[in-house]
Amino acid sequence: MPKLLTPLIAALIVITSANSLAEVGTDVAGATYQAGTHYDVLATPVRTSNPKLIETAEVFWYGCSHCYSFEPTLLEWKKTLSEDVVLVKSPAIWHPTMELHARAFYTAKALGVLDDMHTVIFEEMNLRKNKLADEAAISKLFEDHGVDPEKFEKTFNSFGVSSSVRQAKSRQRGYEIKGTPEMVVNGKYRITARMGGGHAGMMKIIDYLIDLERQNLPARQETD
């Protein structure tokens, strides 16, 4: 019996070792990254907005101080992106007040004022400690920055914004989000600041995963 088991055990060791190696990789600087330690592989990939591009999604909340402090790092990193990579933002929603803030995000986007209002909302909540706990408070903030109140109300409660909020909730479930901020590369890999040892380390892991996905990009384009 032991003689029969020995080849089987040896084969299992080889398979296990091969699988472990497949989950470990290095970036151009020689840093080593491993699935389950530096990033999580999602059980089921989440569909991205454009299969021809490598999508990097940030899941954030305006009331999150860590998201606020992460924003400058993310903006600088965005300037370095090549044409095959797109950065998208998806508001986190696990509380009714957070849904109001998600509506504020999509309202600003629909009205074409997101570039300005994104920073305004972050600063209002994190610097001025305004909780923006109801629609009236959010409306006033938009009005103070030049948005017509009637146009705001119509957009804030529109079908389009409601649909975007529902999609954000669905993405959040698919991303298996544990907190904010978190990043998801191409609907497959979830990365947190804890995994990266901080924001800078987090971005290095993201760059590594983008390079990993870039190897598959030509194949995706050919099948479109």
Fold of 33-217: Glutaredoxin (3.40.30)
The answer to whether residue 80 scores a pLDDT higher than 80 is yes
Q: Which residue has 């101080």 as its token pair?
A: 65
What pLDDT is attached to residue 219?
A: 52
pLDDT at 221 over 60: no
Residue linked to tokens 């497959």: 188
| Distances from the Cα of 92 to the Cα of 58, 165, 166, angstroms | 9, 10, 11
Whole-number pLDDT of residue 223: 43
Q: Percentage of the chain with pLDDT > 70?
A: 85
Q: pTM to 2 decimals?
A: 0.86
pLDDT digits (tens, 9 = 90+) for 13-61: 433 433 433 467 886 567 899 999 999 999 999 999 999 999 999 999 9
Residue 118's pLDDT band, with cuts at 50, 70 and 90, is very high
* pLDDT, mean over the chain: 89
For residue 54, the SS3 value is: strand
Query: Tokens in use for 46?
Result: 């989440």
* Residue 1: per-residue pLDDT: 44
Q: How confident is the model at residue 90 (pLDDT cuts 50, 70, 90)?
A: very high
pLDDT of residue 29: 66
Examine residue 96 and say whether the peptide bond preceding it is cis (omega within 30 degrees of 0). Answer: no
Please give the residue that has the higher pLDDT: either 10 or 157.
157
Please state, for a pLDDT cut of 90, what percent of the chain lies above it. 82
Task: Give residue 191's identity as a one-letter amino acid code.
Answer: I
How many C-beta atoms surround the C-beta of residue 99 within 10 A?
Answer: 17
| pLDDT confidence tier of residue 175, bands split at 50, 70 and 90 | very high
| pLDDT value of position 195 | 95
Parse the chain into domains and list their residue ranges: 33-217
